[in-house]
Amino acid sequence: MWWPFQDDDEVFITGSAGTGKTFLLNHIIKLLRKQYKPSQVFVTGSTGVVACAIRGQTLHSFAGDDSSWGGIQLVVSGDFFQLPPVKSKRIGDGDNDKQFAFEADCWDSSFALQVELTKVYRQSDPQFIKFLQNIRIGKLGEEEEEYFKRLQSSATMDSKAMLAVQVYPMNKDVSRVNEERMKSLGDEAFVFKAIDSGSDIKRCRKQLDQATPSELSLCLGARDGLLPVVKFDSGKTKVIEPVTWQVKDGDNIVAERKQLPLTLAWATSIHKCQGKTIDFIKADLSNAFEYGMHYVVMSRAKSPEGLFVTGLDPAKIKAHPKVLRFHEKKLASEKDEKSEEDSTTAPLAVSHTKFHFSLSEFLQNRP
């Protein structure tokens, strides 16, 4: 079976929003699951939400505090320019100012291969892509401000925009909007209670809460027996059946929650919309408090026509200085490698430490 990396390569895959990191990871997971037994392939996420979304487990529950990789081949993906990790509040972590994975002493020795995906798939408008790339690195010059003003002045809240998901930096605003919209329907709410089980359910409840609520209130739409019928924006309708979220420890399922895969989504938080592609977004950024928030929100939109932003303070558009330094160091070392290659005319090989490629090239180059 074709596999793009050497068997003992530890790989770090990065790239800006929408370049297909998740798409590529899913492809790699599929390949690995065909080749290896379930007990040999582990899928982990850095947070409970991500872990549940990819039907994996949290990195912490998988690796605990064991800092050595002991024979495991790692394939890791992420974009440090998006939201930074939530700071640990654990006792004893106070004097540790390391926040990003690339600050770990073992980072360089762990990832011999660092891959950057460069073709953006989520958006196709070149001007919008260029604008987003600049926001990513915290650059809001005159040109970008001008572009943004033009974008917003031509934005009209037409009938399509009424479907827009409202995005806020803070959960309290998300809950307020969802509750107000629920009340305004004036109907009786039906409460769907999740069914929890598993030997470690007590410890895992918080993680499951991040993925799906233990009690879900719904009051809109036709009903089929005890199951809700949802009409999607596309016009299609579907009876929604419950699904099961699992928390795993190795091969063992230690906690499960059975719940309807629905959530109130008139509004959502910037943290929750990470990784998503959204047709119409209405973002209020007046309470933005974290590096990367502007970039995460704006890069969810497929086109500038689907993006409406209020409360934008250009002074808040910043990339984390540590991430910028990491990025600059990476670019500088790539430049050095490039000039070394030019002088030796060495062919560019996959085993090269760092390289850029588009995903379609990657998939098309399969032998």
Ligand X SMILES: Nc1ncnc2c1ncn2[C@@H]1O[C@H](COP(=O)(O)OP(=O)(O)OP(=O)(O)O)[C@@H](O)[C@H]1O
Which residues contact ligand X by CB under 6 A? 15, 17-23, 79, 121-122, 275, 277, 299, 359-360
**Amino acid residing at 119:** K
Of the two residues 14 and 57, which places its CB atom closer to ligand X in the complex? Answer: 14
Least Å from the CB of residue 274 to ligand X: 6
Least Å from the CB of residue 18 to ligand X: 4
Of the two residues 109 and 360, which places its CB atom closer to ligand X in the complex? Answer: 360
Of the two residues 22 and 244, which places its CB atom closer to ligand X in the complex? Answer: 22
Least Å from the CB of residue 19 to ligand X: 4
Tokens of 152: 């917003």
Least Å from the CB of residue 67 to ligand X: 27
Strands (E), the chain: 11-15, 44-45, 57-58, 75-77, 113-117, 165-168, 190-193, 195-197, 215-218, 223-224, 227-231, 237-239, 243-249, 252-259, 267-269, 281-284, 307-310, 354-357
Of the two residues 76 and 201, which places its CB atom closer to ligand X in the complex? Answer: 76
212: exposed, middle or buried (Cβ count in 10 Å: 0-12, 13-18, 19+): buried
Of the two residues 53 and 182, which places its CB atom closer to ligand X in the complex? Answer: 53
**Amino acid residing at 358:** S
Q: Taking CA 22 as the corner, what is the angle to CA 338 and CA 111, rounded to the nearest 5 degrees?
A: 40
**Amino acid residing at 172:** K
The span from the first CA to the last CA of the chain, in angstroms, equals: 10
Of the two residues 21 and 320, which places its CB atom closer to ligand X in the complex? Answer: 21
Least Å from the CB of residue 353 to ligand X: 21
Q: Which single residue brings its beta carbon nearest to ligand X? A: 20
Tokens of 108: 């360089």
Closest CA to 45 of 33, 60, 30, 31: 60
Q: What is the C-alpha to C-alpha distance for residues 154 and 276, in angstroms, rounded to an integer?
A: 25
Least Å from the CB of residue 89 to ligand X: 26
